[in-house]
Amino acid sequence: MSGGVDSSVAAALLKQDGYEVVGCFMRLGSPGESLTDGEFCNPDDVKIGHQGCCSINDAKDAQLVAAKLDIPFYVLNFKKDFGRIIDYFVDEYNAGRTPNPCVRCNDWLKFGKLAQYAKSIDAQYVATGHYARVETINNIPALLRGLDHDKDQSYVLFGSPLSELGHMMLPVGRYLKPQIRQLAEEFDLPVFNKPDSQEICFVPDMNYAGVVEKQTEGGFSFGQIKDLDGNTVGQHQGHQNFTIGQRRGVGVALGYPIYVVDKNPDSNTITVGPREALASNACIATQSNWLIDPPTDLIPCQAKIRYNSSPVPARVKPLPGNQLEVHFDEPQFAVAPGQAVVCYHDDRVITGAWINKAI
């Protein structure tokens, strides 16, 4: 229970359906927090910086909802594990990639560490407020997009192993967001009109580079901005300040719209060029997770190359070394290493992996 309306309604729906529900709040160790060790959360003990979905107010809201639903409420100390996510975030940016910490949080914490905790208390399922669905197809658990495609979060759950899907419950995935708000009001939950969290919990003010620089020994270094011919056209204050496909804030004028089309962390250079230089016909991705039997050759699918993009027609096949190859029917722009590519058959997630390079 993160203290938001979605996880709160998920708990209420499960209790209404007759489940024995236990509410858990993840102590992540945000700056300024001083949660007491132990299990029960006294609101006076919660001092988390107001950042994203795990702030002091969120902890209090989660406890208020648990009290309203008359369910146990526990705080789990995931501070050490959360440090792994921050390290990953920093390392990826320093390596010239564009990370997605929310996917890692789901894999490592919500359906990793939290799943282990669930087993330790003999809980059969881990439930969250994600807009996605788990259903059984041909006697096999399947991960599906949420009915509200505008809020769908199946992309960030692609890393859940098939063996764990049967122990995952996503009650809000069968509703539209306005219905969830209405249910929260009908359940008389104090968070029924609480705004959705819009930021990464450890990135205040959306300043990604600031977090990375603070966590990077020696900080950032000045480097060169080059054009597609290798000519130096400007200077930057660290390649970590840029992402593939970025247009604003490059600080260079070439007489036509320019985008960041490449980054080289070894030489600390970024390359800029026109939008067409961002087009890719395919990508290679690593650490694949198949939620169906892997095919032997290319099969049709719809692929998403970032969380806020729409699925596009493509074909996918596995490669040796736990890799996969995705071919797009039409060229895609700004296929960024470090992001995930997730493949669907209709609404069903069939596989996903981390983009290593665009082709």
- Co-location of 198 and 224 in the same domain: no
Residue from 117, 127, 115, 112 nearest 15 by CA: 127
Residue 102 is among the residues annotated as catalytic for this protein: no
The phi-psi region of residue 85 (left if phi > 0; otherwise alpha if psi is between -120 and 50; otherwise beta) is: alpha
- 37 domain residue, yes or no: yes
Question: In whole angstroms, what is the distance from residue 206 CA to residue 312 CA?
Answer: 28
- Co-location of 287 and 171 in the same domain: no
CATH of the domain at 332: 2.40.30.10
- 51 domain residue, yes or no: yes
- Contacts of residue 110, defined as CB under 8 A and 6 or more positions apart, other chains included, come to 26, 126, 128
Structural domain tally of the chain? 3
- 210 domain residue, yes or no: no
- Domain of 338 in residue numbering reads as 279-358
* pLDDT score of 333: 97
Question: In whole angstroms, what is the distance from residue 18 CA to residue 205 CA?
Answer: 41
- Co-location of 100 and 118 in the same domain: yes
- Co-location of 90 and 195 in the same domain: yes
CB atoms within 10 A of CB 143: 25
- 48 domain residue, yes or no: yes
- Co-location of 20 and 154 in the same domain: yes
- 212 domain residue, yes or no: no
* pLDDT score of 206: 80
- Co-location of 31 and 85 in the same domain: yes
Q: Of residues 105, 283, 301, 343, which has the active-site annotation?
A: 105
- Co-location of 292 and 265 in the same domain: no
Q: Of residues 41, 102, 201, 283, which has the active-site annotation?
A: 201
- 215 domain residue, yes or no: no
- Co-location of 163 and 244 in the same domain: no
Of 205, 229, 253, the last residue of a domain is: 205
CATH of the domain at 242: 2.30.30.280
CATH of the domain at 80: 3.40.50.620
Residue 105 is among the residues annotated as catalytic for this protein: yes
Question: Do the strands 279-290 and 348-358 form a parallel or antiparallel pair, or are they unpaired?
Answer: antiparallel
pTM of the model: 0.90
96-105 burial, b at 16+ Cβ within 10 Å, e below that, comes to: bbbbbbbbbb
Of 205, 229, 260, the last residue of a domain is: 205
3-state secondary structure of 24: strand
- Co-location of 69 and 172 in the same domain: yes
Phi and psi dihedrals of 249, rounded to 5?
80, 15
Is residue 274 a contact partner of residue 245, using CB atoms and an 8 Å limit?
no
- Co-location of 235 and 151 in the same domain: no
Q: Write out the chain's pLDDT in tens, 359 residues.
A: 999 999 999 999 999 999 999 999 988 765 445 444 333 333 333 233 344 455 667 888 999 999 999 999 998 888 888 889 999 999 999 999 999 999 999 999 999 999 999 999 999 999 999 999 999 999 999 999 999 999 999 999 999 999 999 999 999 999 999 999 999 999 999 999 888 876 677 786 788 899 999 999 999 999 999 999 999 999 999 999 999 999 999 999 999 999 999 999 999 999 999 999 999 999 999 999 999 999 999 999 999 999 999 999 999 999 999 999 999 999 999 999 999 999 999 999 999 999 999 99
- Co-location of 258 and 297 in the same domain: no
